[in-house]
Amino acid sequence: MLKFLKSKWIKIPYTVFLYAFAIYGFFLTATYLAVKFKWTNNEGMIDENNRYFQDMHNKYNQSFRVDSVSMQQHRYEALNRIMVLNQFHPKNAEYILSTLLKTNDERIALKMLDAVDLRLRKNKKYRVALADMRSKHSKRQKTTGLSVFEWMNVAEWQDFKIAVQKDKKYIDSAARITGVESRLIVSCLVGEQIRLFNSNRESYKNYIGPLKVLVLENHLSYGVTGIKESTAQKIENFLKDSTSVYYLGKEYAHLLDYDSIRSYKNNINDTMSVRLQRLVQFKDHYYSYLYTALFLKQMKMQWERAGYPIDDRPEILASLFNLGYQRSKPKKNPAVGGSDFKIHETNYTFGAVAFEFYYSGELADVFPYQKSMFDWNKKQAKSKKHKR
């Protein structure tokens, strides 16, 4: 028996088992001690791009400006970078553009682009394309908070914007009843009032500057849009003359009929005709806008009937408003012009100023662009009726 236990068949397995058990015991002991003394705690590693992440955090939380001019710059930057990315990874470019359009948040879009830049930092072609885009952008003139239309940068323009908004209800009322876009009416108002934009003129000193109200003309030209009496009379006559090229239709024939019950007199117009008394009202400028709108529509009809439509030419319509019926001769290539004047030593024409205002986007929240300058309200009504 003893001989059998000493044989290699028993001795070798026993020895192996003994050492294995000892090793296992040591492993358990070591594990216990490691856990107890926190030898196994993983301190982790610092990402190689940690500094980049911190810089990005600082950029968007400290120096990221949110004023309107800066935000516009951020949007241009984002769109330019998206276009570059689209050349390499259109799928990611699509994601970022979609996010920008949905959220309208330039900060998010730029952070998404920064994440892409980090991942593509070793892509030489992408880095070159991005650097080229930025180089071209940096060579451009720096953005300013000023308008490209210099006459809108004068202090008087800010006063005018306050003044014209006080007349919104009268302008919109004239627009609804005539079907002439409010913004087009205001373009003619701008052309007439802006020639007074000189801080040395009495009209500015007395009205626009201190009171923030429009200048009411009462000599030769009348009202806030400067309508001559002869022009006002022609506007009235053409509304009723069905044989005229200016005729607008039966529904407009009585828009300027006189109300014999109402008095329009005040302390500066009591010697004027009723026609002019309506135009020379201190606060209620409705008739100034109504006459203006009807004149514009009469011009539109005249040129349309002659085969030269100008219903999308605010600069021509405004020029004709300034020049009058006698200068309205329909032709293929009409000229923009009208009276010329200076604003802070720079020359302008009536038609050009009206054009620049109309397409400037200024006051678009107050006097928005319609789908058409004429009869947009009737077209909308017909569309709704058709849908029903």
* Length of the chain measured in residues: 388
pLDDT at position 344: 77
Give the containing element (helix H, strand E) for 221.
strand 221-223
Instruction: Report DSSP letters for 60-109, one per residue.
Output: HHTS---SHHHHHHHHHHHHHHHHHHHTT-HHHHHHHHHHHHHH--HHHH
Residue 47: inside a domain: no
Asked if residue 356 and residue 232 are part of one domain, the reply reads: yes
Q: How far apart are CA 90 and CA 246, in angstroms?
A: 56
What's the token pair of residue 6? Answer: 């000493």
Last residue of a domain, one of 136, 158, 173: 136
Q: Which domain holds residue 112?
A: 65-136
Assess whether 204 and 330 both reside in one domain: yes
Q: Are residues 89 and 160 in the same domain?
A: no
Question: Which residue, 136, 165, 192, sits at the end of a domain?
Answer: 136
Give the tokens for residue 116: 């892409």
Q: Looking at residue 42, what is its pLDDT?
A: 46
Question: How far is residue 98's CA from residue 86's CA, in Å, rounded to a whole number?
Answer: 13
Tokens matching residue 184:
């087009």
Going 244 to 277 to 203 to 150, the CA torsion angle's sign is: negative
Residue 246 lies in a domain: yes
Say if 386 falls within a structural domain.
no
Domain match, 177 and 112 both: no
The whole-number pLDDT of residue 388 equals 44
Give strand pairing partners of 218: 222
Of 288, 283, 183, the residue nearest 232 (C-alpha):
288
In a domain, 29, yes or no: no
Is 278 strand, coil or helix? Answer: helix
What's the CATH number where 306 sits?
A: 1.10.530
228 and 93 assigned to the same domain: no
The helix (run of H) or strand (run of E) holding residue 347 is: strand 346-349
Q: Which two structure tokens, joined as six digits, stand for 153? A: 């940068």
Answer yes or no: do 237 and 111 share one domain.
Answer: no
CB 245 within 8 A of CB 187: no
For residue 45, being part of any structural domain is answered with: no
Same domain, 195 and 262: yes
d(CA 94, CA 74): 18
Mean pLDDT of residues grouped by 10 in the chain (388 residues)?
53 60 59 52 50 59 61 83 92 90 86 82 89 74 72 87 95 97 97 72 62 82 94 97 97 93 89 93 95 98 97 95 95 91 86 94 94 82 50
Are residue 77 and residue 188 in the same domain, yes or no? no
32 domain residue, yes or no? no
Query: Are 131 and 92 within one domain?
Result: yes
What pLDDT does 289 receive?
Answer: 98
Three-state DSSP at 346 gives strand
Amino acid 44: pLDDT: 47
**Which pLDDT score, from 0 to 100, does residue 366 have?**
96
Residue at a domain's end among 85, 105, 136: 136
> Is residue 366 a part of any domain in this protein?
yes
> Which ranges constitute the DSSP H helices of the chain?
2-5, 8-36, 50-61, 68-86, 90-103, 106-119, 124-139, 155-165, 168-178, 182-194, 202-203, 209-211, 229-240, 274-279, 286-305, 314-323, 350-358, 376-387
Q: What is the pLDDT of residue 323?
A: 94
CA distances from 123 to 53, 96, 118, 128 (A): 19, 19, 10, 9
Which among 316, 367, 363 has a CA at the least distance from the CA of 172?
A: 367
Q: Phi/psi class of residue 92: alpha, beta or left (left: φ > 0; alpha: ψ in -120 to 50)?
A: alpha
d(CA 101, CA 85): 17
Number of structural domains in the chain: 2
Report yes or no on 243 lying in a domain.
Answer: yes
Residue with tokens 């359009």: 101
Structure tokens at 175: 């627009």
Eight-state DSSP code of residue 199: T
Residues 123 and 174 both lie in one domain:
no
Residues 347 and 201 in one domain: yes
* One domain, residues 83 and 195: no
What pLDDT, on the 0 to 100 scale, is given for residue 231? Answer: 96
